[in-house]
């Protein structure tokens, strides 16, 4: 003989609340829809045990004479305090049916985000700019203003679902009547129909067009940076809120300067004699012409730094630097007079011999050699 207390997993002095909690837990585990058909008999035994022990009178009869004293040798239906299959479904699904409706589906939905590449010059990255752009997008229908209806008309309550947006179907099964809810096919779950759709947008509440707008390019943006413009993407169906517009920066190549982070780099070539003697020349920067001093004895690959003439910083104030890289031009061909003069200079400076040296010395090695007179 099956022990109802053992089936539920509760002691014989369990309270009604303990019995109910135990039944809820076991019902989840043994329900045939989840545990499979092989659990059907165990689920029936569990139901009979709960029906008996949840009713004080039946429980007293069971304690005195066992199952026969309660059911006369048979098993009854669900009873007790009314907790049965509906409570199982409520525990599992949050309601008395397998699917429940949360109300009509709104027609208005948020529009899609959009991505647009925008070409930006180095000057615009440095100082910021306002640019005019155009893109294909959805805007609110000017005829119906997003209502989806012809002017002078309005949506009507769906006669099939009566505005709920869903229809309920009842199916009989081994477990009893099971209710399911599905979106209404007559109104697609919206709860209303549009008898006179707008002719301009065909009842969508928005139309596609080419839109022009002005956008701000922040100081310091770099190639590949994405700028988010909230609410400037396409308008959603039925006049729903607009999505976001993302501008992806594509840097236009500059003829003179190369950007590396917040710094600008440029290269100049000076003759050997100019590098030796030094000079001053004007360099055209993004801020206009600036004087650059080439010091006497400037070596190849030396770098001249012009502070604060780089790109504006995106996250903080200030600007980077402009770095001028010096290439010294060595003449490949000399006429007789030029060769004679260079030979005289070489003799004067004693530069006629070539001596090998280590090129991988550290700073400390060079300092040591200098101090020791080597």
Annotated binding residues: 141, 144, 158, 161, 184, 187, 198, 201
Q: Is 109 helix (H, G, I), strand (E, B) or coil?
A: coil
- Residue among 5, 21, 36 at smallest CA distance from 87: 21
- 312 pairs with which residues across the strands? 319
* Element housing 305 (H / E): strand 303-306
Who's near 176: CB < 8 A, 6+ residues apart? 85
Q: 38: Cβ–Cβ under 8 A, 6 or more apart, which residues? A: none
Beta-carbon count within 10 A of 325 CB: 14
State the binding site for Zn(2+). 141, 144, 158, 161, 184, 187, 198, 201
Kindly give the pairing relationship between strand 166-173 and strand 176-183: antiparallel
3-state secondary structure labels for all residues of 169-197: EEEEECCEEEEEEEECCCCCCCCEECCCE
Give the residue among 286, 285, 283 at the shortest CA–CA distance from 294.
Answer: 283
Strand-pairing partners, residue 236, are 240
* Cα–Cα dist 226/115, whole Å: 9
325: β partners: 267, 303
Joined together, the tokens standing for residue 218 give 């922040």
Q: Give whole-number Cα distances, 160 to 97, 163, 186, 195, in Å.
A: 20, 8, 7, 14
Q: How far apart are the first and last CA of the chain?
A: 108
């Amino acid at each position: 003989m099956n022990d109802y207390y053992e089936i539920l997993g509760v002691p014989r002095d369990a309270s009604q609340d303990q019995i109910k909690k135990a039944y809820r837990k076991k019902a989840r585990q043994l329900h045939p829809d989840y545990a499979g058909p092989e659990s059907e008999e165990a689920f029936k035994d569990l139901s009979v045990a709960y029906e008996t022990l949840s009713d004080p009178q039946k429980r007293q009869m069971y304690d005195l004479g066992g199952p026969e004293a309660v059911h006369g040798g048979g098993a009854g239906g669900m009873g007790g305090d009314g907790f049965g299959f509906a409570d199982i479904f409520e525990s599992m699904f949050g309601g008395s049916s397998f699917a429940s409706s949360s109300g009509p589906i709104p027609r208005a939905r948020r529009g899609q985000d959009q991505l647009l590449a925008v070409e930006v010059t180095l000057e615009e990255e440095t100082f910021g700019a306002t640019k005019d752009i155009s893109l294909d997008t959805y805007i609110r229908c000017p005829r119906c203003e997003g209502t989806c209806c012809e002017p002078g008309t309005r949506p009507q309550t769906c006669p099939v679902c009566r505005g709920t947006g869903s229809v309920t179907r009842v199916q009989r099964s081994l477990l009893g009547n099971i209710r399911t809810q599905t979106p209404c096919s007559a109104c697609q779950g919206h709860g209303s129909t549009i008898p006179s759709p707008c002719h301009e947008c065909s009842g969508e509440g928005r139309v596609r067009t080419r839109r022009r707008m002005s956008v701000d390019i922040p100081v310091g943006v770099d190639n590949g940076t994405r700028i988010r413009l909230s609410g400037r993407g396409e308008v959603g169906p039925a006049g729903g809120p607009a999505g976001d517009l993302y501008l992806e920066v594509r840097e236009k190549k500059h003829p003179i300067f190369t950007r590396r982070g917040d710094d600008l780099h440029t290269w100049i070539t000076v003759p050997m004699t100019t590098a030796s003697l030094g000079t001053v020349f004007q360099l055209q920067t993004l801020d206009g012409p600036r004087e650059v001093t080439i010091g006497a004895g400037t070596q190849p690959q030396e770098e001249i730094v012009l502070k604060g003439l780089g790109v504006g910083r995106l996250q903080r104030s200030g600007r980077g630097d402009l770095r001028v890289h010096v290439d010294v031009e060595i003449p490949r061909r000399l006429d007789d007079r030029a060769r004679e003069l260079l030979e005289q200079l070489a003799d004067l400076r004693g530069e006629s011999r070539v001596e090998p040296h280590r090129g991988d010395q550290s700073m400390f090695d060079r300092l040591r050699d200098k101090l020791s007179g080597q």
